[in-house]
Amino acid sequence: MPGIINWDELWKATHAGGFHHHGKDLAAHWDSRARLFNKRVMKNKQRANDQVAILGLTPAETVLDVGAGTGRLALPMARQAKSVTALDQSAGMLACLQENMAAEGIGNIRCIQKSWQDVALGELEPHDVVLSSNSLGVYDLKEALSKMDALARRAVYIFTFSDGKRDDGLRKFLKESRESKKGGGHGRREVGPADYLVMYNLLADMGILADIKMMTWQSDEHYASLEEAVAEWKEMHEVPDEKDQMLREFLSQRLTKDGSGLCMHRSHRQVLISWQKGGASPA
Ligand SMILES: C[S@@+](CC[C@H](N)C(=O)[O-])C[C@H]1O[C@@H](n2cnc3c(N)ncnc32)[C@H](O)[C@@H]1O
């Protein structure tokens, strides 16, 4: 039951611009950056393993990974659980996931190419654990969350972004670097509370009293040269040509010498919203 703030409507109002990156729809955006994303995230398996350890999976359990991407979490989860259903709207991301499965000799992941909003309840069987990690690009968040809840037998885990205003400077740089770019931005209006706060309060309105945990992850990104770092960041974050110099300066300030190459130490803030099933039924 909504109180003085209607969190459902607030989410829709802040995402009324839809989900797009620089004019491309979300699936096309992830298709085009799948290979580079995969290369980058697969370098940091420790973080993925630490995230998966939180879930306490057992060998008898099944997992539904909503917005599984290239399998950063699906692969380590598949090693611990009975099976994983990896759903993603991007064919490019799932193609990388399938290559990763073959390379790692993993056979118990089923890939489904679909948007979460297009999945009808009843179309998928319930899973013990339902998870999403930085992957809820949906306009109707209430519907998306209630479907995750309905399909989970034991628990739901949602890793999501914290308030971007307090990150390690990357967001500020990207915002400035894209200001001149036509059709730039992410669709979301930079007003109102951070997404995770809307999500948490919306869940409460739905009768789901979730746990919320603030987490900080450290990572080191290694590059052979400044040129390699500039090329990778330019492609990854779609920095326009006219901002090359700005990108070069930003990276030079952040990179430190590391043996024969360069290293960027990064600190990522993330939020985990989770709930166990078996309590009172949601409203
Ligand atoms: C930042 S990546 C995260 C991938 C993976 N969960 C991880 O933690 O590495 C976001 C992924 O979520 C997918 N995604 C976002 N919104 C989605 C939706 N509504 N339905 C299906 N997939 C979605 C994108 O296609 C992309 O592959």
Ligand 1 centroid to Cα of residue 257, in Å, is: 33
Q: Using the atom order of ligand 1, give the atom closest to the CA of residue 51.
A: 8
Ligand 1 proximity of 76 Cβ (cutoff 6 Å)? no
Q: What is the pLDDT of residues 239-279, one digit of tens each?
A: 888 888 989 999 999 999 988 899 988 888 899 999 999 86
**Both tokens of residue 208?**
């789901």
In this predicted structure, the answer to whether residue 178 has a pLDDT above a threshold of 80 is no
Instruction: Give the Å distances, CA to CA, from 123 to 118, 120, 260.
Output: 10, 5, 52
The enclosing domain of 128 has a CATH number of 3.40.50.150
Residue-level pLDDT at 184: 46
Cα 231 to averaged position of ligand 1 atoms, centre (Å): 24
Domain membership flag for residue 245: no
| Cβ contact 26:135 at 8 Å | no
66-89 pLDDT per residue, tens: 999 999 999 999 999 999 999 999
Task: Give distance in angstroms: CA of 215 to centre of ligand 1.
Answer: 20
Model confidence band, residue 168 (pLDDT cutoffs 50, 70, 90) = low
Pocket perturbation via mutation, ligand 1, pick of 39, 84, 88 by most ligand atoms within 8 A of CB: 88
Q: Does the CB atom of residue 116 touch ligand 1 within 6 A?
A: yes
* 282: in domain: no
Q: For residue 236, is it within any domain?
A: no
Rounded average pLDDT over 165-175 = 67
Atom of ligand 1 nearest to the CA of 41: 9
More confident residue, 136 or 267: 136
Distance 173 CA to ligand 1 centre (A): 23
Do residues 7 and 201 lie in contact, with contact meaning Cβ atoms separated by under 8 Å?
A: yes
User: How many domains is the chain partitioned into structurally?
Assistant: 1
Structure tokens at 242: 């006219």
In this structure, what token pair is assigned to residue 270? 């993330």
Percent of the chain with pLDDT over 90: 66
- Return the ligand 1 atom nearest residue 27 CA: 25
Question: What pLDDT, on the 0 to 100 scale, is given for residue 23?
Answer: 58
3-class secondary structure per residue, the chain: CCCCCCHHHHHHHHCCCCCEECCEEHHHHHHHHHHHHHHHHCCCHHHHHHHHHHHCCCCCCEEEEECCCCCCCHHHHHHHCCEEEEEECCHHHHHHHHHHHHHHCCCCEEEEECCHHHCCECCECCEEEEEEECCCCCCCHHHHHHHHHHCEEEEEEEEEECCHHHCCCHHHHHHHHHCCCCCCCCCCCCCCCCHHHHHHHHHHHCCCCCEEEEEEEEEEEEECCHHHHHHHHHHHCCCCHHHHHHHHHHHHHHCEEECCEEEEEEEEEEEEEEEECCCCCCC
Is 152 part of a structural domain of the chain?
yes
- Domain assignment present for residue 135? The answer is yes
**Domain for residue 107, yes or no?**
yes
In sequence order, the 6+-apart residues with CB closer than 8 A to the CB of 233 are 239, 247, 251
30 CA from centroid of ligand 1 (Å): 8
Mean pLDDT of the chain: 89
Structure tokens at 119: 């999945």
Which atom of ligand 1 lies closest to the CA of 135?
12
In a domain, 232, yes or no: no
Q: Given this model, what pLDDT does residue 183 score?
A: 45
- Asked whether residue 247 is domain-assigned, the answer is no
Whether residue 167 has pLDDT greater than 80? no
Q: Which domain holds residue 159?
A: 7-164+187-218+268-276
Question: Which ligand 1 atom sits closest to the C-alpha of 137?
Answer: 16
Mutation pick for ligand 1 pocket among 84, 135, 195 (CB with most ligand atoms within 8 Å)? 135
Q: 20: which strand partners? A: 25
